Structure 1
Amino acid sequence: MDRFHEMQVFLAVAEEQGFAAAARRLNTSPPSVTRAIAAMEQRIGTQLLARTTRSLHLTEAGQRYLEDCRRILAELDEAEEAAAGSYSIPCGHLAVTAPVLFGELFVAPVLGAYLDQFPLVNINALLVDRVVNMTDEGVDVAVRIGHLHDPGQQAIKVGEVRRVVCAAPGYLDQHGRPSRPEQLRDAKIVSASSSQLVSEWTFVDGRQPLTVPIEPRLVVTANNAAINLARLGWGMTRVLSYQVAAAVAAGELELVLETFEPEPLPIQVVFQKSSRVPAKVLTFVDFLAHRLGQDAALNPALKLRGC
């Protein structure tokens, strides 16, 4: 077994956190994975993985070796892609990440359209509500909601979203429409545990920040669940504007306290800065940015022009 293949096996075991899962990913048998790791550790002369009957984790040496493997394999892929002409022709594997709900609503439809146009590209979409380390996890393109802090990344702004408070019209008819954020202390609140807005909500009063402590009576694990409960009239919730755009347009939810909303957050399509960017990345970034830039739910100015 060559060393590059051993590195691929080690990478699969570390990322899948198990020999059987790594074997499934590599379409091979668990014993062959076990033999590869044992041969690697024997050749290197140190233990890379600490194993028990119930768990597996990287040793300190294994963690350093994992980072080196990722770098070496990425450079190998880049060299092969360059030799195959992928810097001029969109082809190969493309890894994309986006927040779960945003990805389902806005990114997933674009993926299919892009693949129809570029048949030599395959896409793996990682939809998760966390900030993915693009370098460590081998991601080519990311959709970020918020401001960037990594100078090694290049971004194209495609829209913006607001942090909105909403409830069903029936709930507001029964309990009243708040005119000031402080009145939310007496409201029935449902929040998502994945949100950073569980314990307090921040607003702007004039030019001054205004923070209101929130004590949700109900906390759920997903934004969709909180939104559905609000639609059913159970209480109020705070989410990003794109998440409830359709429900607001249909009259199922109503926005309140709009004059107290903080500044909108930018939506950006992000990729790594490099002297050579593969054609698959450039074409996908252009394709995605164009599609998202034309969506009125993400670009309020389009609504003003009647688009």
Structure 2
Amino acid sequence: MWRFVAVSTVALLCWTTCSAEDGALRVFAGANLTLPCPHHSEVADPLMVTWSCRGCGRGPAPVTVAQYGRDGSVSRSDGRVRLVLPTFQLHIYPASTQDAGVYVCSVNNAPSAESITVTVEDVPRAPQRPLVVSFTSRSAELSWAPLYSQTGASALRYLLQKRRYDPPAPWDLQHEITIPDNRTTFNVTGLKPFTAYSFRIFSVNKVGRSLASEPSYPMVTHREPPSGKPTVVKTFSPTADTIEVIWRPPDRSEMNGEFIGHVIAYRPRDLDGAEWTTIDLPGNVNETTSYIIEDLTPYTEYLIRVGIKNMVGLGPYAVVRETTLEGVPDRPENLTSRCIPTAS
């Protein structure tokens, strides 16, 4: 004769991954789900125990989850399910949302008025692909739509990640943005001008985070005037009326747009009211990195400025000073002569 001892409450089988009330059990997806057979304390051979579930992600009709036959055989609905003998507890691991439903344990096909309602809490579904609805040179406004699951797992908040798209870069995990409520729009700030970005969103509830959404389609922030200036490497005067300037362009990240040329401006240092003479040097950013300024005044100190420009405007100048070499003195003009008598 089998002796079957029933557990009087579901709470005895619930640990940190679930919560229990009379006739109900709430468990997290991925946890152990163990149910007692809340029935008679003693049954006689021949014995047949059947666990059935109504709901359980398989339709509204009850389905057999596990069964112990009179010949001692055990049948199961899938590999996650097993019967713990001799108590006939139903053990499911790992639990999934399809295991949510109303469970009944019957002995020898006898009707049972007792049941256990199981709710499986899971992470929410990933939201839909975020859309960039507007942007500036340093920000982007995003919008997305949540996807709801049949279990009702909804997002309590969202997480946002970004990455540079060109040149390709990994997702920026260190600067992940937490959106503190379940709103579905957000303005991302702190972006760089004229830079391609992509964004993705995670849904989060008390169970955990969802998979990542599909990344947004790439976008490029607006241009700004260059924020960097060239580094002047060397200046010298090859001749009395020329000065050569050699420089290194700023980093690409400081150009903030398509490079269209360098600009050199100069004037005598001591003539405060003098106008700057400006020279535009179009071309590739790395092709032109030196220039000889001609037709200068010998032995004169000049202020020289070097900058870059893009399609939006001109960036800050690098300013240096250099003095032309001394030249050959000019020929004297308007000479006069006179006789000086000698002493006798």
- If the length of structure 1 is used for normalisation, what is the TM-score? 0.24
The structure having more radius of gyration, on CA atoms, is: 2
Higher helix residue share:
1
Q: Greater RCO between the two (CA within 8 Å, min separation 6)?
A: 1
- If the length of structure 2 is used for normalisation, what is the TM-score? 0.22
Higher strand residue share:
2
